[in-house]
Chain A
């Protein structure tokens, strides 16, 4: 125990703040608190940057490659990366870089679309049924449990057995298996919000249920919903890739990140000899998922008032 306490990094931070405060330079801006916390979160900022780059590359794909994602070129099959083919070509001579960019379009669309679809169903049900409660609530809760317990792969196999693989089918299946978690999250939010006195006050005025639900309660639950949409987007992109890799996803001619990887499925020799078939795509997929997760975590921390900063 010494009388001269060593200055830690924390102490220096506090010294700096104190000096600024003495100069009267600090001001509280009520609305920017969450925004400021996001900016202070370096990982989240990195996530936003990576996310934006990949989305831009995919959306503006023709600007970054002169090849098409489906054009076969049987004269240059399995060429290693070179000046014309940045990441080489696959076994049918398609340019990997082009497929990665165009595939990103579909993968992101599938992920984001499924997340939005699941959120629409889950949030709408969660808010209204959570607010009303009663038998409808118990039934839908049980329903959501069944959907969550049912292995996704089985549903997909059933659908594949009846129809054939298509983009729409994949999205529909993702929405069907994705809404329960959205529903349960929203419902638990609503259960606490509906006990707040301002909701009681609206009821005391006889304001209609729909207005209470979607005008007064929804804005208070929107933070966690956004976080959930972000994180489910990442989850759905991963699932799509996994399914496509197994050949159960979108039709093989459509380029998605999963379908690009599908080439090496069961071909151990490909994995060993032609690394460019899977390493670039796998890296891009991993980076994109990480970026989304960073953003989601940042959003969650920023919208959580119990975390100081």
Chain B
């Protein structure tokens, strides 16, 4: 890479553990380590994909950036216009202001809109909060937002039950855009949509990114979608990032055995591409009692003795001038660098 991109959000040692309480006295029995020690830099203007299977902690990680859930540990340094600040040390007023810079688009288009209120009614509250006191102005802004997401502005008086899933999702995107954010967390934003609608929303997200200079954190379980939209991809497994690389590098030469298995498991809608599947045994272990050593070792086809006892470090590699990260004891770079 020639010039180092600007870091928008630097996350170090992010941890989110949920206590499991049992019994009459609600004693804490154990912890679900939903997110466990994640380091991640988000660059300004990129689309960073986060992929993983259900329960790997990707959604919790996304929500932890918004400070919507109690976080156990770590730092979230965000480059605000007036300097770098840790999101976790902000006071209530500062965090309220910061909410206009980080926004979220949800997965389920049906639960993301309030069925009892018109589109205008539910989109205007954020605007009021961030200082648009004049109603006419709010009507203008919401009309403009709806046009931005390819919906007629007249739709603002309608109720959610009059819209299809794809339209609802676009309204959800319009709502996130209403406060001019810099970073948008797309939490499985297209997963619940029908395939023909998925493409509409994906293209819309790409267009809006250029128009509004946005940065996306794109959380999904669908690797084909991530390959299409992301610049870099982080693969999560059991609350940890196991591999991070530029999208092309990750899909061409996955380093971690989990990434390899994941890529091989995806059914491809192309009869010309036949590939060998790497079968994975068993299920994802419970994040309450993660396995010793490398969390992936019980399912890993390349497991060695050391993997069972020692946690692999999250290491940085450089291949052909582009950096990538992986945490595995058995990484064979010769395989990759010869290509």
Contact = CB atoms under 8 A, between A and B. Distances in A.
Given A206-B96, A211-B125, A200 B114 contact: no
Contacts of A215: 125
Interface string A197-240: 11011111111000100011001101000000000000000000
Contacts of A206: 95-96, 99, 129
A219 to B, nearest CB: 4
A30 interface: yes
A2 interface: no
B161 interface: yes
Interface string A163-201: 000000000000000000000000000000000111011
B126 A198 contact: no
Contacts of B126: 202, 205, 207
A201 B116 contact: no
B183 to A, nearest CB: 12
A82 B141 CA distance: 74
B111 interface: yes
A149 to B, nearest CB: 17
Nearest to A30: B161
Contacts of B106: 197, 200-201
Contacts of A207: 125-126, 129
Contacts of B162: 30
B213 interface: no
Interface in A68-115: none
Interface string B133-171: 000000000000000000000000001011000000000
B104 interface: yes
A216 B129 contact: no
Nearest to A203: B68
Given A196-B111, A197-B106, A219-B116, A204 B68 contact: yes
B279 interface: no
- Interface SS, A side: helix
B179 A205 contact: yes
A216 B95 contact: no
A201 B99 contact: no
Given A204-B66, A205-B129, A220 B116 contact: yes
Nearest to B97: A206
Contacts of B227: none
A171 B208 CA distance: 59
B35 interface: no
Interface string B268-280: 0000000000000
A215 B116 CA distance: 10
Contact of B99 (A197, A198, A205, A216): A205
A204 B99 contact: yes
Interface residues of B, number: 31
B116 A204 contact: no
Nearest to B96: A206
B253 interface: no
Contact of A216 (B111, B117, B179): B117
A198 B116 CA distance: 11
Contact of B125 (A196, A200, A205): A205
Contacts of B33: none
B296 to A, nearest CB: 31
A220 B114 contact: yes
A215 B118 CA distance: 12
A133 B90 CA distance: 23
A206 B129 CA distance: 8
A201 B104 contact: yes
B175 interface: yes
B125 A198 contact: no
Nearest to A199: B114
Contacts of B175: 201
Interface in B169-192: 172, 175-176, 179
Nearest to B102: A204
Contact of B68 (A200, A211, A220): A200
**Residue among B66, B106, B116, B117 facing the most chain A CB atoms (10 A cut-off):** B116
Contacts of B231: none
Interface string B206-230: 0000000000000000000000000
Contacts of B68: 200, 203-204
Interface string B67-105: 010000000000000000000000000011001101110
A221 to B, nearest CB: 9
B194 to A, nearest CB: 19
A200 B68 CA distance: 8
Nearest to A222: B116
A215 B125 CA distance: 10
18 contacts: A30-B161, A196-B112, A197-B108, A197-B112, A198-B114, A200-B63, A200-B104, A201-B104, A201-B106, A203-B68, A204-B68, A205-B129, A207-B125, A211-B125, A216-B114, A216-B117, A219-B116, A220-B115
Given A197-B108, A202-B126, A211-B125, 6 more contacts: A30-B161, A197-B112, A200-B63, A201-B176, A204-B104, A216-B125
Interface of B: 63, 66, 68, 95-96, 99-100, 102-104, 106-108, 111-117, 122, 125-126, 129, 159, 161-162, 172, 175-176, 179
